[in-house]
Amino acid sequence: MRNKNRALGVLGTFLAFAITFTATACGGNADTGRSAQQAATQRPNAQQEAAAAIEPFLAPPTDIPVNTPLAKKPAGGKTIIISEDPAAVSRKTNDGFEVGAKMLGWTVKRQPIGTGPEDAAKAFDAALDQKPDAINMSGHAASTLRAQVDRAKNMGIPVLLTDVSDPVGSDGLVHVIGIDDASQTGPWGTMSGDYAVSQGAKNVLVVDLSFFPALHAYSESVANRVGKLGGKATIIDTTLTEFVGGKIPARVVSEIQRNPNIDWVLMCLGDMSTGLNAALKGAGFADKVKVGGETASTANVSALKAGTESAWTGFPAEIHGMYRVDALARILNGEPLVKGYTSLPTQMLTAKNIGTAPVDSGGYYIGIPGYREYFAKLWKL
């Protein structure tokens, strides 16, 4: 995994410029949707180049990048409030958080966030009203929560912001550790682009949810990589309302009907694919278009095993949650945060390797078996 982490770091450095450029060139509004296209001059041997690039990511990871033990066992009896977005992966991540928190003797309360533009701020205020020992807000940048961040500081409540593209670091009681941010999702987009091209993709439809910047970084990186390899990538934006309402499959089918040359669909979130296979089959596209993307859900893992989907990045959601617990343990201990949070153990899951991929009894990708014992040792339990 060390070689993989180094590769992701190099990709992240490259993508820092690429994502900024393409976001400016192709940026849009998540409420209205947008389309963008990117293509490049055909490159010789692009398929072989893509195959060589993806090869290291086809095997399971071997280690967890967060590896610095705490100086002391954290105190128990804390109450932590964590935000929860509508996506199933948010709930799965919070399941992991609860596992870690229970190991430390903490109580966890989940604060749901709706789909409206002001709902994150409302959820943050509701969490503050309960006066917990700490709050974890996920997926929403500090710039959109200024009043609540200031209120938390005035109340003396530590805040952990995760899954955002804000600069990693601490500002008094407010701490940003990224985790599933652009430095992670951007390289995942490159991985997906490489795999699709290695399998012969020529015309890729990328389904974005730019309301979440980290997911947008994935989509832009797919388009960048496919274009660099000489293929064509079209990005369509979707909204939280469309996502929750199950309307994304119809959007995808409509786009393919307008552009029948599309041969791959890559989605920035596995949960967005619910109902897509049935929609493609109903429209007569099931045998023509391959499906994949980022953050495989249990349904995606099942689809890979059945051969109805082609490739997804493995997302170890419970380790994702444990990272947050680890960071809060250090914050509440008065210890400095450590490196490694922005690199989750992962791999490219395909129909060929899914049979040997590390998944739990429910079919969810776990990345590293024995991760609970691993964190227990880090936390001196």
d(CA 202, CA 7): 25
Cβ-based neighbour number of residue 170 at 10 Å: 14
Residue 260's Cβ-count burial label (10 Å; 0-12, 13-18, 19+) is exposed
For residue 141, is pLDDT > 90? Answer: no
Report pLDDT for 339.
86
For residue 199, is pLDDT > 50? Answer: yes
d(CA 46, CA 34): 28
Beta strands in the chain, from DSSP E residues, in sequence order: 35-39, 79-84, 107-112, 134-138, 159-162, 169-171, 174-178, 203-208, 232-237, 264-267, 290-293, 311-313, 348-350
HSE of 32, CA atoms in CB hemisphere, 13 A? 5
19 against 234, higher pLDDT = 234
Q: How confident is the model at residue 30 (pLDDT cuts 50, 70, 90)?
A: very low
Same topology, domains 2-60+183-313 and 79-179+316-340+358-378? Answer is: yes
Signed CA dihedral, 199, 221, 90, 357: sign only: positive
Can you tell me the mean pLDDT for 119-130? 97
Contacts of 245 (CB under 8 A, 6+ apart): none
Domain ranges of the chain: 2-60+183-313, 79-179+316-340+358-378
pLDDT averaged over every residue in the chain: 88
Q: What percent of the chain has pLDDT over 70?
A: 88
Helix (H, G, I), strand (E, B) or coil at 173: coil
Report pLDDT for 167.
83
Report pLDDT for 242.
95
| CATH no., domain 2-60+183-313 | 3.40.50.2300
For residue 203, is pLDDT > 70? Answer: yes
d(CA 163, CA 184): 10
For residue 377, is pLDDT > 60? Answer: yes
Can you tell me the mean pLDDT for 281-303? 95
Q: 316 with 225: CB under 8 angstroms?
A: no
Nearest to 134, CA basis, from 318, 330, 342: 330
Superfamily of segment(s) 79-179+316-340+358-378: Response regulator (3.40.50.2300)
Distances (CA, A) of 213 to 97, 168, 231, 247, 293: 22, 15, 24, 21, 16
- CA angle (317, 377, 78) in 5-degree steps: 70
Beta-bridge partners for 267 = 207, 293
**Placement of tokens 């599309």 in the chain:** 262
For residue 309, is pLDDT > 70? Answer: yes
d(CA 208, CA 211): 9
Task: Read off the pLDDT of residues 266-279 as tens digits, 9 standing for 90 and up.
Answer: 999 999 999 999 99
Q: How confident is the model at residue 41 (pLDDT cuts 50, 70, 90)?
A: low
Report pLDDT for 42.
52
Can you tell me the mean pLDDT for 153-159? 97
Helix (H, G, I), strand (E, B) or coil at 378: helix
Report pLDDT for 6.
36
Can you tell me the mean pLDDT for 166-176? 90
**Placement of tokens 């109805």 in the chain:** 308
Residue 13's Cβ-count burial label (10 Å; 0-12, 13-18, 19+) is exposed
Alpha carbon 12 to its chain centroid, in Å, reads 14
Report pLDDT for 350.
98
